[in-house]
Amino acid sequence: MRALSIQQLHKTYKNGFEALNDIQLEVEQGDFFALLGPNGAGKSTTIGIITSLITKTSGRIQVFDADLDTDRELAKSYIGLVPQEFNFNGFEQVKHILITQAGYYGVPAKEAETHADELLKKLGLWDKRHSSARALSGGMKRRLMIARALVHQPKLLILDEPTAGVDIELRRSMWTFLRDINRQGTTIILTTHYLEEAENLCRNIAIIDKGQIIENTDMKSLLNRLDRETFVLDLKQPLTDLSALADLCCHQVDSTTLEIELCRSESLNSLFNRLSECGIEVASMKNKANRLEELFLTLVESSETQQ
Amino acid sequence: MRVARHQQHWIAFSTIVTREVRRFLRIWAQTLLPPAITMTLYFIIFGNLIGARIGDMGGFSYIEYIAPGIIMMAVINNAYANVASSFFSAKFQNHIEELIVAPVPNYVILAGYVAGGTARGLFVGLIVTVVALFFTHLPVQNLLLTFSVVLLSAILFALGGFINAIYARSFDEISIIPTFILTPLTYLGGVFYSISLLPDFWQHVSMLNPVLYMVNAFRYGLLGASDINLWLAFGIIVLFIAALSWYALHLLDKGTGLRK
């Protein structure tokens, strides 16, 4: 079954700006799906239309087969949204926010309280349950938004840049939490600017640019398309002469840092053999950019060239 | 556990009402205390000090005559202000999105906010009634009539506050209507005088003021005296409620001020 089906979606704002142009997108039940794109590409407009915050110009959206136009309430009941900006009432108590949200979805009070308590404990907010939301730290506010989106147990969770401005430790713990709920059956759609996050979490991906889907495939096939990777090597001793490596595509950043670009056909073993032959010892190595990031930039740049 | 759709709507409605009541009780110093103080001053100044020199009006002492109007004024202002400020704050802080995203039909959103505003109107009305009893005697001629008029008037002005909040783009815009329309209508709506004191022309102009019908119907329920026909008063209140409900729902369906 499809968790989300978008057909021929168009959105033109009153000022004439065409935000979405014929979006077609399908997300299977149980998927962990990334919707990526540069700023202003149309990600948030797409999410806004799916969640009824923005009115579409034309097109059709179905959530678990419920049509958003003809069976609006059922379609909405399947969705949980974690928006980009904090949008809870800062003066309300944390637990009240969750129980109120569950009430909007018609969850009976006792059940709502049980779900709220479970989520508050799982997301490390239990001790703050009686605090007003504005007193929470930034990371806690992010977790509160996730708890609020899950309190009615949605089948489809949409996260619009959920880890923006969150420190790495919290981001990793949120990844673990999201992987768990996805494993338990919740379909997840994620937009993020941290491409490492998308690469780590998502199985399928769509890239949107200038209101159009320019790529829609599974993460593995997309990453397989990457034909070159750049590695940054930290050397044990300063390198004075680069001539021995003239046939390699490399660039010396400073005396102990070397950047080498490799084709997919070349192996790392042969590179290291070559470096050993030249008496170059490598202390550590890393990718210059995240693999998905390199692909993303290539795809967006080529889409811009075509236009 | 899945519940039937009508039960879901009921839960959503009671959730909105609970949140609204919790809100005005939490900020009681801004919502409940000021009308109690203001209306006490009205009773002291207009009722005791000036009223004693005015003498009778419509066969009642002046303070007895104005008490129903002052109670009604508090109900109207608070029902209006509650919905206008709460709904606009929800828009301003974006937490209205919680409701828009949820499967809550527009009529439930409207009913929930209006019920919250009505609750505050009635609560403040009760406080002001208790204050009034320190200054005068309030004989209740018809309890059912008195309660239905005050309830319908609170509903009507809560609807007005809701429409104001939908259109408002700043906090200034939720104070324009109360300042320039609501206050003049209330003061000219027969709270402090009987329209029989006015020249014919101004009596006819006063008949166009909906607040006049509410104040007089309420006064009739308490004192048994009114400047206007009671059924006409009920008819006008119900007509306004129907018209404003339709318009508010129309605005919600269009997403005015809520959806891009």
Give pLDDT, residue B152: 97
Give pLDDT, residue B118: 98
- Cβ within 8 Å, pair A55-B255: yes
- Does B52 map to a domain? yes
Q: Are strands A187-191 and A2-12 parallel, antiparallel or unpaired?
A: unpaired
| pLDDT bracket for residue A223 (50, 70, 90) | confident
Residue range B121-137: average pLDDT?
A: 94
Residue of B7, B9, B15 to mutate, interface with A, max A Cβ within 10 Å: B15
Question: DSSP states of B90-133 as a string?
Answer: HHHTTTTHHHHHTT--HHHHHHHHHHHHHHHHHHHHHHHHHHHH
- Cβ within 8 Å, pair B11-A111: no
Are A108 and B3 spatial neighbours (Cβ–Cβ below 8 Å)?
A: yes
- Cβ within 8 Å, pair A89-B101: no
Tokens of B115: 């019920």
**pLDDT (tens digit, 9 = 90+) per residue, B10-30?**
999 999 999 999 999 999 999
**Has residue A307 got a pLDDT over 60?**
no
- Does B136 map to a domain? yes
Residue range B99-123: average pLDDT?
A: 97
- Does B160 map to a domain? yes
| pLDDT bracket for residue A71 (50, 70, 90) | very high
Give pLDDT, residue A198: 86
CA distance A182 to A32: 7
Query: Is B187 exposed, middle or buried (CB count within 10 Å of its CB: 0-12, 13-18, 19+)?
Result: middle
Which residues, at least 6 apart from B86, have a Cβ–Cβ distance to it below 8 Å? B20, B23, B24, B113, B116, B117, B165
CA distance A260 to A272: 11
- From A293-297, B111-115, B205-209, B252-256, the region with the lowest mean pLDDT: A293-297
Tokens of B218: 């309420």
Residue range A174-194: average pLDDT?
A: 92
- Provide the shortest C-alpha distance from residue A75 to chain B (in Å): 8
Residues on chain B touching A109 (C-beta within 8 angstroms): 11
**pLDDT (tens digit, 9 = 90+) per residue, A38-61?**
888 899 999 999 999 999 999 999
- Cβ within 8 Å, pair A54-B22: no
List beta partners, residue A63.
Answer: A4, A66
Are A81 and A154 spatial neighbours (Cβ–Cβ below 8 Å)?
A: no
Output the CA–CA distances (angstroms, integers) from residue A115 to A103, A132, A150, B98, B145, in the order listed: 12, 19, 9, 17, 45
- Cβ within 8 Å, pair A76-B102: yes
Residue range A76-104: average pLDDT?
A: 95
- Does B82 map to a domain? yes
Tokens of B188: 């000219």
- Does B42 map to a domain? yes
Give pLDDT, residue A289: 65
CA distance A40 to B254: 25
Residues on chain A touching B7 (C-beta within 8 angstroms): 106
Number of domains in chain B: 1
- Cβ within 8 Å, pair A103-B12: yes
| pLDDT bracket for residue A290 (50, 70, 90) | low
| Amino acid at position A117, single letter | D
- Provide the shortest C-alpha distance from residue B116 to chain A (in Å): 15
Question: Considering only residues 202 to 231 of chain A, which have any Cβ-Cβ distance to chain B shorter than 8 Å?
Answer: none
Are A217 and A225 spatial neighbours (Cβ–Cβ below 8 Å)?
A: no
- Provide the shortest C-alpha distance from residue A90 to chain B (in Å): 8
Query: Which of B14, B93, B100 comes nearest A52 by C-beta?
Result: B100
Give pLDDT, residue A228: 73
Q: Which of A81, A153, A80 is nearest to A118 (CA)?
A: A153
Residues on chain B touching A148 (C-beta within 8 angstroms): 98
Give pLDDT, residue A195: 78
Q: Which residues of A184-208 are buried (b: 16+ CB within 10 A; e: fewer)?
A: eebbbbbbbebbebbbebbebbbbb
Residues on chain A touching B92 (C-beta within 8 angstroms): none
- Does B245 map to a domain? yes
**pLDDT (tens digit, 9 = 90+) per residue, A135-166?**
999 889 999 999 999 999 999 999 998 887 77
Are A33 and A204 spatial neighbours (Cβ–Cβ below 8 Å)?
A: yes
- Does B259 map to a domain? no
Q: What's the domain range around B45?
A: 5-254
- Cβ within 8 Å, pair B99-A104: yes
**Has residue B1 got a pLDDT over 60?**
no
Question: Closest residue of B to A101, CA-based?
Answer: B98
Question: Considering only residues 78 to 117 of chain B, which have any Cβ-Cβ distance to chain A shorter than 8 Å?
Answer: 89-90, 93-95, 97-105
The rounded percent of chain B whose pLDDT value lies above 70 is 99
B14 contacts chain A (CB < 8 A)? yes
**Has residue B259 got a pLDDT over 90?**
no
- Cβ within 8 Å, pair B97-A73: no
- Provide the shortest C-alpha distance from residue A72 to chain B (in Å): 7
The architecture that CATH gives domain A225-306 is: 2-Layer Sandwich (3.30)
**Has residue A100 got a pLDDT over 70?**
yes
Question: Considering only residues 229 to 258 of chain B, which have any Cβ-Cβ distance to chain A shorter than 8 Å?
Answer: 255
**pLDDT (tens digit, 9 = 90+) per residue, B58-93?**
788 888 889 999 999 999 999 999 999 999 999 999
ipTM: 0.89
A51 contacts chain B (CB < 8 A)? yes
Give pLDDT, residue A62: 97
Give pLDDT, residue A268: 85
List beta partners, residue A58.
Answer: A10
Q: Which CATH number does A2-223 carry? A: 3.40.50.300
| Amino acid at position B36, single letter | A
A54 contacts chain B (CB < 8 A)? yes
Helix (H, G, I), strand (E, B) or coil at A100: helix
List beta partners, residue B61.
Answer: B56
| Amino acid at position B185, single letter | L
- Provide the shortest C-alpha distance from residue B101 to chain A (in Å): 5
Task: Tell me which DSSP letter residue B195 carries.
Answer: G
Q: Which residue has the tokens 């619009």?
A: A160
Which residues, at least 6 apart from A252, have a Cβ–Cβ distance to it below 8 Å? A239, A242, A258, A259
Question: Considering only residues 11 to 40 of chain A, which have any Cβ-Cβ distance to chain B shorter than 8 Å?
Answer: 13
**Has residue A8 got a pLDDT over 80?**
yes
| pLDDT bracket for residue B258 (50, 70, 90) | confident
Give pLDDT, residue B58: 77
Give the residue extent of every domain in chain A: 2-223, 225-306
- Does B260 map to a domain? no
CA distance B129 to B135: 10
Residues on chain A touching B101 (C-beta within 8 angstroms): 51-53, 76, 79, 81
**Has residue A6 got a pLDDT over 70?**
yes
